Amino acid sequence: MSWFALKSALSNNQIADWLQIALWAGQDKQVITVYNRYRHQQLPARGYAAVAVAYRNLQQWQNSLTLWQKALSLEPQNKDYQRGQILTLADAGHYDTALVKLKQLNSGAPDKANLLAEAYIYKLAGRHQDELRAMTESLPENASTQQYPTEYVQALRNNQLAAAIDDANLTPDIRADIHAELVRLSFMPTRSESERYAIADRALAQYAALEILWHDNPDRTAQYQRIQVDHLGALLTRDRYKDVISHYQRLKKTGQIIPP
């Protein structure tokens, strides 16, 4: 970076290069110093974005938002800049505004990064059930506990489900709790149909595995009965009405008590 400092004249692109390289080097304060030196230059969007990130790293939310707006005025369709602005809005405590902007972004370009941003907003807002739901949707299918990202682990902890991150701690009661939580999340009306279906499918897959494990195990009768009732909810979310009726009738025949 000394090369930039020794140059008597820099182009706008070279200034942006300097800002980006300083940011990558973790020199947030230097990014701000360089920007203030050339703040009257017409920089490319990537330069403003680098400064926005540096301000965010320094927890100067309003300055960061100002720079995100500069970057977006030049590249309004840039998804990374939009997400950067959204996350900074959440940092600043503007949770509702962040969620509105994220919904607008997701309507045009839904992807995993948006789900992670959504979980981040909910985490800061203290809406931990919504945080867990968004993180659950972002996971790849059939993810093992070793593949869980740290954000998902934290979401589990925030919802008193920390034992789910360690297979050794997955007691039958905890397995039944996790299955029940997935079913509950699939019912939440704030999600799109496809998102609710994805969560319900996870619950159905978990039910299939637990059903095999516990069907003929007298030591797991209580947990087995729990997942049978919760299974009705997953089937209902998936609009499998015939299966709901047949499963319900099967439970009634066995004498199992079904809550209203």
Give the domain range for residue 196. 171-260
39 close to 16: Cβ distance less than 8 angstroms: no
Q: Which two tokens stand for residue 45?
A: 């969007």
161 found inside a domain = no
181 found inside a domain = yes
133 found inside a domain = no
195 found inside a domain = yes
26 found inside a domain = no
Does the pTM exceed 0.75? no
256 close to 228: Cβ distance less than 8 angstroms: yes
d(C-alpha 253, C-alpha 256), whole Å? 8
- Give the lowest-confidence range in 60-74, 146-160, 166-180: 146-160
Closest listed residue to residue 155, CA positions, set 191, 115, 96: 115
> Which range is most confident: 102-106, 164-168, 209-213?
102-106
Number of structural domains the chain divides into? 1
189 found inside a domain = yes
pLDDT of residue 137: 78
176 found inside a domain = yes
250 found inside a domain = yes
pLDDT of residue 172: 81
